[in-house]
Amino acid sequence: MVYELPSDLQPGEKVLVSACALGERTRYDGRGKADLELIAALKKHKCEVIPVCPEIAGGLPTPRPPAEIKGGVPLDVFQSKQGVRIRTVVAAPHYPKGWDFTKEFLRGTEAVMQTALQHGVRYAFFQERSPSCGVKQTHADGELINAPGLTTVALQAMGVEVLAADGTAH
Protein backbone atom coordinates (compact mmCIF):
# COMPACT_ATOMS: atom_id res chain seq x y z
CA MET A 1 0.00 0.00 0.00
CA VAL A 2 1.24 3.48 -0.85
CA TYR A 3 0.81 6.33 1.62
CA GLU A 4 -0.71 9.24 -0.25
CA LEU A 5 0.98 12.48 0.76
CA PRO A 6 -0.85 15.83 0.48
CA SER A 7 -0.70 17.10 -3.10
CA ASP A 8 0.80 20.46 -2.12
CA LEU A 9 3.60 19.01 0.04
CA GLN A 10 6.80 20.31 -1.52
CA PRO A 11 9.79 18.04 -2.16
CA GLY A 12 12.24 18.54 0.70
CA GLU A 13 9.63 20.22 2.93
CA LYS A 14 10.07 19.89 6.68
CA VAL A 15 7.42 17.78 8.40
CA LEU A 16 6.86 16.58 11.96
CA VAL A 17 6.43 12.83 12.45
CA SER A 18 5.61 10.91 15.63
CA ALA A 19 8.89 9.29 16.66
CA CYS A 20 7.24 5.91 17.23
CA ALA A 21 5.81 6.00 13.68
CA LEU A 22 9.40 6.16 12.48
CA GLY A 23 10.13 3.02 14.51
CA GLU A 24 11.72 4.74 17.51
CA ARG A 25 11.01 2.88 20.74
CA THR A 26 9.18 5.74 22.44
CA ARG A 27 5.80 4.16 23.14
CA TYR A 28 4.50 3.58 26.66
CA ASP A 29 5.29 -0.15 26.27
CA GLY A 30 8.85 0.52 25.16
CA ARG A 31 8.15 -0.32 21.54
CA GLY A 32 7.98 1.56 18.27
CA LYS A 33 5.20 1.27 15.69
CA ALA A 34 6.74 2.11 12.34
CA ASP A 35 4.50 3.12 9.47
CA LEU A 36 6.63 1.76 6.65
CA GLU A 37 4.43 3.16 3.89
CA LEU A 38 4.63 6.66 5.34
CA ILE A 39 8.40 6.42 5.86
CA ALA A 40 8.86 5.28 2.25
CA ALA A 41 6.62 8.05 0.89
CA LEU A 42 8.40 10.80 2.84
CA LYS A 43 11.78 9.45 1.78
CA LYS A 44 10.76 9.31 -1.86
CA HIS A 45 9.53 12.90 -1.62
CA LYS A 46 12.85 13.88 0.04
CA CYS A 47 11.02 15.47 2.96
CA GLU A 48 13.04 16.65 5.93
CA VAL A 49 11.59 14.55 8.73
CA ILE A 50 11.61 15.99 12.26
CA PRO A 51 10.81 13.24 14.79
CA VAL A 52 8.84 14.35 17.84
CA CYS A 53 7.49 12.54 20.87
CA PRO A 54 5.46 14.85 23.09
CA GLU A 55 5.33 12.43 26.01
CA ILE A 56 9.11 12.00 26.12
CA ALA A 57 9.57 15.75 25.54
CA GLY A 58 7.33 16.32 28.54
CA GLY A 59 9.66 14.32 30.76
CA LEU A 60 7.99 10.91 30.87
CA PRO A 61 10.15 7.78 30.72
CA THR A 62 9.87 4.77 28.42
CA PRO A 63 8.35 2.41 29.28
CA ARG A 64 5.60 4.15 31.22
CA PRO A 65 2.03 3.30 32.18
CA PRO A 66 -0.54 3.97 29.45
CA ALA A 67 -2.53 7.14 29.96
CA GLU A 68 -5.90 8.48 28.91
CA ILE A 69 -7.95 11.64 29.23
CA LYS A 70 -10.28 11.68 32.24
CA GLY A 71 -13.40 13.77 32.51
CA GLY A 72 -13.36 15.44 29.10
CA VAL A 73 -11.69 15.53 25.71
CA PRO A 74 -8.15 16.71 24.82
CA LEU A 75 -9.52 20.05 23.64
CA ASP A 76 -10.74 20.68 27.20
CA VAL A 77 -7.27 19.95 28.60
CA PHE A 78 -5.73 22.31 26.05
CA GLN A 79 -8.21 24.98 27.03
CA SER A 80 -7.56 24.19 30.72
CA LYS A 81 -11.11 23.34 31.66
CA GLN A 82 -11.32 22.48 35.32
CA GLY A 83 -11.42 18.86 36.33
CA VAL A 84 -10.07 17.41 33.08
CA ARG A 85 -6.85 15.52 33.59
CA ILE A 86 -4.62 12.96 31.95
CA ARG A 87 -4.29 9.97 34.22
CA THR A 88 -2.60 6.62 34.09
CA VAL A 89 -4.91 3.69 33.54
CA VAL A 90 -2.86 0.86 35.02
CA ALA A 91 -0.94 0.56 38.20
CA ALA A 92 2.84 0.32 37.97
CA PRO A 93 5.22 0.10 40.94
CA HIS A 94 6.38 3.68 40.59
CA TYR A 95 3.21 5.18 39.08
CA PRO A 96 0.08 4.32 41.04
CA LYS A 97 -3.18 4.05 39.11
CA GLY A 98 -4.67 7.50 38.72
CA TRP A 99 -1.31 9.28 38.69
CA ASP A 100 -1.72 12.65 37.03
CA PHE A 101 0.36 13.17 33.87
CA THR A 102 -1.35 16.41 32.81
CA LYS A 103 1.70 18.57 33.54
CA GLU A 104 4.02 16.35 31.48
CA PHE A 105 1.57 16.11 28.57
CA LEU A 106 1.15 19.89 28.47
CA ARG A 107 4.89 20.47 28.75
CA GLY A 108 5.55 18.04 25.90
CA THR A 109 2.84 19.60 23.76
CA GLU A 110 4.37 23.04 24.25
CA ALA A 111 7.77 21.68 23.21
CA VAL A 112 6.31 20.21 20.01
CA MET A 113 4.50 23.50 19.29
CA GLN A 114 7.82 25.31 19.63
CA THR A 115 9.46 22.87 17.22
CA ALA A 116 6.66 23.37 14.70
CA LEU A 117 7.01 27.13 14.99
CA GLN A 118 10.78 27.08 14.76
CA HIS A 119 10.74 25.05 11.55
CA GLY A 120 7.63 26.57 10.04
CA VAL A 121 6.04 23.19 9.42
CA ARG A 122 2.71 22.91 7.64
CA TYR A 123 2.17 19.19 8.06
CA ALA A 124 2.54 16.63 10.84
CA PHE A 125 2.09 12.87 10.53
CA PHE A 126 1.03 11.53 13.90
CA GLN A 127 0.39 8.12 15.40
CA GLU A 128 -3.32 7.39 15.51
CA ARG A 129 -5.19 6.71 18.80
CA SER A 130 -2.55 8.09 21.19
CA PRO A 131 -3.80 10.52 23.89
CA SER A 132 -1.07 12.88 22.63
CA CYS A 133 -0.74 12.18 18.91
CA GLY A 134 -4.12 10.67 17.99
CA VAL A 135 -5.58 12.29 14.90
CA LYS A 136 -9.15 11.06 14.56
CA GLN A 137 -9.30 8.87 17.63
CA THR A 138 -7.91 8.89 21.15
CA HIS A 139 -8.43 7.19 24.49
CA ALA A 140 -10.65 8.90 27.05
CA ASP A 141 -12.56 7.63 30.07
CA GLY A 142 -11.97 3.97 29.21
CA GLU A 143 -13.05 4.25 25.59
CA LEU A 144 -11.68 4.96 22.16
CA ILE A 145 -13.37 8.22 21.20
CA ASN A 146 -13.58 10.16 17.96
CA ALA A 147 -11.43 13.15 18.93
CA PRO A 148 -7.82 14.17 18.37
CA GLY A 149 -5.13 13.83 21.04
CA LEU A 150 -3.78 16.73 23.04
CA THR A 151 -0.74 17.62 20.91
CA THR A 152 -2.77 17.25 17.73
CA VAL A 153 -5.36 19.70 19.05
CA ALA A 154 -2.60 22.19 19.86
CA LEU A 155 -0.95 21.91 16.43
CA GLN A 156 -4.29 22.22 14.66
CA ALA A 157 -4.93 25.41 16.64
CA MET A 158 -1.64 26.74 15.17
CA GLY A 159 -2.79 25.92 11.66
CA VAL A 160 -0.68 22.77 11.20
CA GLU A 161 -2.49 20.03 9.31
CA VAL A 162 -2.13 16.75 11.19
CA LEU A 163 -2.51 13.51 9.25
CA ALA A 164 -2.71 9.98 10.61
CA ALA A 165 0.44 7.89 10.47
CA ASP A 166 -1.14 4.49 10.50
CA GLY A 167 -1.40 4.54 6.75
CA THR A 168 -5.16 4.10 6.78
CA ALA A 169 -6.94 7.10 8.25
CA HIS A 170 -5.55 10.02 6.29
The Cα–Cα gap between 4 and 24 comes to 22
Q: Which span (6-14, 96-104, 129-137, 156-164) binds ligand SF4, by CB under 6 A?
A: 129-137
Phi/psi at 11 (nearest 5 deg)? -60, 135
Helix (H) or strand (E) holding 16: strand 14-18
Q: 12 burial class (0-12, 13-18, 19+ CB within 10 angstroms)? A: exposed
Pattern 48-87, ligand SF4, x by CB under 6 A? -----xxx--------------------------------
Q: Which of 130, 137, 138, 152 binds ligand SF4 (CB under 6 A)?
A: 130
Which one among 15, 19, 86, 150 touches ligand SF4, defined by CB under 6 A?
Answer: 19
Q: Near ligand SF4 by CB under 6 A, which window of 7-15, 117-125, 130-138, 154-162?
A: 130-138
Q: What is the DSSP letter of 144?
A: E
For ligand SF4, which stretch binds (CB under 6 A), given 84-92, 124-132, 140-148, 153-161?
Answer: 124-132
Strands 67-70 and 85-88: antiparallel
Intra-chain end-to-end CA distance of the chain, in Å: 13
CB of 7 to ligand SF4, least distance (A): 26
Q: Where do contacts with ligand SF4 occur on this chain (CB under 6 A)? A: 18-20, 26-27, 53-55, 127, 130, 132-133
